[in-house]
Structures are given as C-alpha cells and as structure tokens.
Structure 1
C-alpha cells in the first residue's frame, strides 16, 4: 500500500466515523448508511423504533438492533434503553418492572443519556414521586451540554404543578450550576406572573449581584406593564429597603449612592438627556439634570404609593437663568387612571436654590403614583445643568 493510498484510506475512515458521530444521535439511519457497523447508531435507531410503535411485530426489529448493538459494544446505554422501551410496550406489570430495570441499568451505564433521565422522570411523575422527578432533571441538566436548551422549557411548564414547584425551589436553593440560567429562562417562559414572583422570591438572593439584576429587571418589567402591586410584592419580599426618613420619597436628598428602581430613582443616562447625583459647593448632593438643545423628556422618576387623601410636594430648585431657558419641573401623576396629573412644581427665576411647594389630592382610583422630573433642553448654544434637591411629600 503506497503512502498516499494509506493516507486516503485513513482519512476516509476518520471521515466516516466523524459523519456517523454527527448523525448517530439525531439521524441514526443516515449514520448507518455511512457506517453500517456503528453500534451507537444501531442502538439509537432501535430506541427510535421502540418509541414510535407499540405493535409487537414492529418491536422485533428494535429488539434485534438493540441486541446486535450490545454484542458489538456491551456498554451502550441507548441499546439498554431501547430494550426497556420494548419490554414496557405491552403495558403489563411484568413489562413495566422489566422496563424500569433496564432504564436504571442504562442510567448506571451513563448519566449523560438524556432520554433515559426523561423516561425515569416521567415514570416517577406517574407515581407521584416528585423529588425523584426533580433529581432526574437535575442529573440531566448537570451532565448534558444540550440539557438547558432541551429541558428548561419542560421544567418551566412543569413548574405550574405546585408539587413540582416546591421540589424545584428546594433544588434551586442549593445553587446547582443550572439554577441561575434557569431563573433567566423563566423570564421568557409563559408563566403566570404570580408564579414567577413566587419562584424568584424563594430562590434568588439580592446579595448576589447577578441575581439582584434579575430581580430589578423583573420589577422594571412589571412597572412598565402596570403591574404595580407585583412590583411592591417583589420589593417587600426581598426587603429592598423602606423609604428614607423623608416620608413617602426614597432618597429625596439624593445623598444615597444606591437606587433600586422603580421605588428608587430611575435616572436617564442618554448622551442628550441625563440626570445624576452631583456634589454641591456646600458639600451635600443634589440631582443634576441636563438636556441638550432640542432634547426633552423624563430625566428621573420614582414610583410612590400614596393612599387617598391630601398631601404637599416640595423641593429645592436651582434658578433658571433667562439666557438658558432650560425648563425643569417636578410632577406627581397617577401611575394608573390614565396618568392623571396631580401636581406640578416649577422653579422661580432668580439666582439661588429656592424652595417651591404645592398641595395636591390623591383620588381613590390612584393606588400608585409616579414622581417625575421632566426637562426641556435650552436654546441653541446655552449650556449648564439645573439642580433639584430635598424632595419631600408630606401628608396634610
């Protein structure tokens, strides 16, 4: 055999094995067409045939393929799984016992056989053994690279069952490596909001930055959707902090460095419109508000919860020089009730920080409110920021 011919033969063998390996799991018939003696492909074809039909005559080829695969390679879990499917196809008690025996053997041979884990999970689910169901999912998620993609949707759907949700929470609290990716997946799953809140509340830790980001994301999503009571529930469940000493407004003095929207200040951070807590000449801090010429919008907002009744809103505003003409106001409006405006404060002209206040009434239909800083950019060529400080809402 010449060197070139030997190289060509070796390459053909490697290519044949590679193609068979690529297709044996998803397209075993194609793998067998390329490599008829591939034991793994024969085992998976046997499992496919056994899963597709319960007719005894149709199960015979599946059994023959499985036995042949085991003769070629006696440690193939897919072949043992195929035999389990064949024996359990008649539905008899004896057949089910034999099926379970083979599936447990397949699991002992390899915990990376995802189909075996799913069969065992279904078996335990039918018998009400929920902790064992979650254990099988846990094994599959820890041992299969495809586990998250394939199993997360199944696990999310199963979480609607209260028993499974409880067992799932118990496992996620142990922080397996898949727990956080699964928590992220839940944001895309079609779950009732109340169930999502319950799962998050019992499994996430706000002291872990990545998990806190998920909590904040969900709170903001609920706020955008008008689900303010769920925002409040998350805020309270995770003990994210009460209002500051300034009643009803959190961080109204802008001295705190941490804000947790929406019950803390949510500050705009666009190049043309932004707000930030800035140090002042007296050593304290105030909210600096900037809008470029031609820009306008909300620079800052905070969700508040005022019960029906009479209140006052007050704040310190920096002066608004005539040459600048940058407009800033502080407004309270209903988060619901079509955004009904309750009060608007605007700064007076002058050269110093001046306090402005006004009274307002919260109606019965207004359970939550937005406290908003609005701004409109100055005339072309003018620069500078406006400042707001010491924002207070008090009951009258």
Structure 2
C-alpha cells in the first residue's frame, strides 16, 4: 500500500517561512526539552550506553530514537530512529516522545496522514509537549482551520515557557490577515496568561504597523487590556513612517472628542503615558519638568538651568493649512525678556519654523499670553513646543503653565 505524499504545490514565501520554522522547531526542540522526562537525566552522549544497559526501558529507547531523528539526519539514522520509536511504543505505550519521533519522520517522508495520527496520539498522552502543539498548528494551518490553529497556539503558549520566542513572531506576522486577526482578538478577550505579553510584542516588534494598530484597536474595543505604552508605541511607529493620517485615525478612535484642527488637553489633565498626540515632557539630565494632573485641573511645572535651555514640552499636531491662535496662562514665571520661554511651531518633516510666541512674566496681563501661527500648504504634521532659551542673565528658568490651546482662527 503506497503512502500518501504531500502535493508539491507552490506556496507563498511567507507560508514557506512559517512551515520551515515549525518543522525545524519540531526537530530542534528535541533532546533538551525531553531528557528530564526520564527517571534520571541522561547526557546525550550516554543515551546509547543507557539503552544497552536497559534495552527494555521504553523511555530510554524513545530518547535514543529521538536523538537519531530530525530534519537534518541522514536516511540510515532516520530509519533506525523509526525502528527504535516503534519498539519504544511496544515497550511503553505511554512513551509520547516515541510517537512524536515517528510522527516527525512520517511528516518528513511525506506521509501526512500517518503523521497526523501519531501526533494526535502523542497529544492524548500529553498536551504539554511543545513539538506536539507545533505539529498541530502546522496541520491546522495546512487544513485552513483557523479555530483549531489558534486553539493549539493557546495550548502551546499556556504550557511552554519556550513557546513565546518561537510562536510570537509567526502569530504577529499573521495579523495582517483579517480572517486571523478577528478570531485572535476573540481569543485574547478570554484573557489568556500570555495575552499581555503578546500585545506588548505586537506593539514593539510586529512587522506591519497598520495591522498592529488594527489588532490593538480591536483588542481595546473587546475590553482586552492594552497599556498606554503599547498603544503609544503603535501610533509612534505609524508617525515614524510618516503615516500621519492613519496615526490620527487610530488615536481618534480611542479619543472620540479629539479634533485634529486644534491642540489637545488644554489644562494638562491627561494621565496617559507619552501618547504622541498628547503632551510629551522633555527629557534631559538638567531638565526638571512634570505634568501634574488633579481633580481641580492640571498644570505643567518646569525648572531648567538658564545656561542649558532646551525643549520642555511638546505635542504633535496634524493641523490643516490655515491661521491659528495660541492662547494660554502662566504662573510664577519671572524672567528677563531675553530669557522668556517661547512657544514654537515647526513642520515635523523638514524642521521649518512657522513662528515663535514669547511667554511673558506671569505678572504681565495676569499671566495671559497669546499669538498667531500660520500653517502653510505642504506641512502635513507640526510640533508645538515650549522651549527655554539659554541665557547667562539668570541662574534658572522656572514657572508653570496651567492652560494652553492652539485653535483655528475663524475667517
């Protein structure tokens, strides 16, 4: 009776990559992950000797079979591995390692039906073996069964410490497919133990920024916990690629009252962590600046050595071309005119400066300040910054801003 062989149809490069990783994993996870399952740990070079001493021990026979198996072994070793694995199952029908070795050899030789039967048998013996779940993922993908694929991902990630390093990259690459992304979100909504780690992995390492944003947005809508830092990273990746409209779309989806025609959070009340379209505090060894939110309203407090100066606060804008008014209020600013802080608006892409507005001492006009900016055509994104100018006339520049807003001027 002839064996059923896998058809040699053409596959996409991505699918071959996934299959290659999974196949190598089945082979490479070998000895290190199973040696401790024997009654005593056996060094790889001692397996042959142990088998000679205990030829009837099914666990040792299975371990020897496994050591001779894999994608890179020659035909003779693989044939011997098959014979030893069959013997191991006769000696001990619960030797899951023997079933895995046989399944892998059948898969390498092209007999998918036999491999499926053997791996399913191995799974009935133990669901905790990573290679068994990796095979099940591979088999489910080949059959187009997304539900089963994700179920085996879940089992593997819940039962193996090694699984995230192996499977997160593959799963993150697959989220570009909407037929996978939506069921994955449903799985994440059950709050699996690995869910938060996967969300963070997608935010930092997934290859497609749009798909990452879609996944995290869907996760947020499904009440899956998504940290501010993860969400900020996804939006920032879009911004770094100059995908400003897409970045704004995803930001606005979770901030329904946001308006791209004006700045946000005029009273500094947000507690979100460094989201690009919110206020971001400047960093530096000599800059002491904080956003202080409270129920009565927030403020921005700053102190910086006068000789240093630097950017104290900024917020990314996606303003359409036009005229804009900056209005605000300060406290406790008392500096010479030459050392007054300034609000500066620049084009993000080329650094063009669109204007400067001084922040006078808080004793002037009751601390109220205002001015105008003009955003020209071709300036798709802008950065509104509060900057301390270096000066040798004072020892430090300090003060507070408790309100600032950049709004369109009606014509």
* TM-score interval, normalised by the smaller of the two chains: 0.7 to 0.9
- TM-score normalized by structure 2? 0.76
Partner of 1:314: 327
Partner of 2:205: 189
Task: Please tell me whether the aligned partners of residues 19 and 31 of structure 1 are also in contact (alpha carbons under 8 angstroms).
Answer: no
Q: Would you say how many aligned residue pairs link Structure 1 and Structure 2? A: 367
Query: 160, 163, 177: which one pairs with 2:193?
Result: 177
Partner of 2:28: none
Partner of 1:70: 89
Structure 1 window deviating more from structure 2 (369-378 vs 217-226): it is: 217-226
Distance 1:277 1:152 in 2: 36
Query: 268, 271, 284: which one pairs with 2:282?
Result: 268
Superposed CA offset, 1:356-392 (max 9, x none): 3333321121222211100135548734623334323
Larger radius of gyration: 1
Partner of 2:13: none
Compared CA separation, residues 276 and 75, structure 1 to 2 (3 A): same
Matches within 5 A, 1:1-396: 21=35, 29-33=44-48, 35-36=50-51, 37=54, 39-40=58-59, 42-47=61-66, 49-52=68-71, 59-87=78-106, 91=110, 95-204=111-220, 211-224=227-240, 226-239=242-255, 241-242=257-258, 248-254=262-268, 256-259=269-272, 261-268=275-282, 270=284, 272-277=286-291, 286-317=299-330, 320-322=334-336, 326-336=339-349, 338-348=350-360, 351-352=363-364, 353-376=366-389, 379=392, 382-383=395-396, 385-396=398-409
Residue 240 of structure 1: how far off its partner (Å): 6.4
Superposed CA offset, 1:261-291 (max 9, x none): 3222112354521333569xxx876433311
Distance 1:356 1:202 in 2: 41
Task: Please tell me whether the aligned partners of residues 53 and 59 of structure 1 are also in contact (alpha carbons under 8 angstroms).
Answer: no
3-state secondary structure, aligned to 1:171: helix
Distance 2:35 2:227 in 1: 38
Distance 2:322 2:208 in 1: 33
3-state secondary structure, aligned to 2:205: coil
Distance 2:66 2:389 in 1: 68
Name stretches of at least 5 consecutive residues in structure 2 with no aligned partner.
Answer: 1-31
Task: Please tell me whether the aligned partners of residues 327 and 377 of structure 1 are also in contact (alpha carbons under 8 angstroms).
Answer: no
Residue 249 of structure 1: how far off its partner (Å): 2.2
Compared CA separation, residues 286 and 150, structure 1 to 2 (3 A): closer
Task: Please tell me whether the aligned partners of residues 327 and 378 of structure 1 are also in contact (alpha carbons under 8 angstroms).
Answer: no
Name stretches of at least 5 consecutive residues in structure 1 with no aligned partner.
Answer: 1-17
Residue 66 of structure 1: how far off its partner (Å): 0.6
Distance 2:182 2:33 in 1: 43
Compared CA separation, residues 182 and 284, structure 1 to 2 (3 A): closer
Residue 75 of structure 1: how far off its partner (Å): 1.0
3-state secondary structure, aligned to 1:385: strand
Residue 88 of structure 1: how far off its partner (Å): 5.1
Residue 215 of structure 1: how far off its partner (Å): 0.9
Task: Please tell me whether the aligned partners of residues 264 and 405 of structure 2 are also in contact (alpha carbons under 8 angstroms).
Answer: no
Task: Please tell me whether the aligned partners of residues 196 and 225 of structure 2 are also in contact (alpha carbons under 8 angstroms).
Answer: no
Task: Please tell me whether the aligned partners of residues 324 and 407 of structure 2 are also in contact (alpha carbons under 8 angstroms).
Answer: yes
Structure 1 window deviating more from structure 2 (325-334 vs 194-203): it is: 325-334
Partner of 1:14: none
Superposed CA offset, 1:241-273 (max 9, x none): 5259xx71222233x253563222112354521
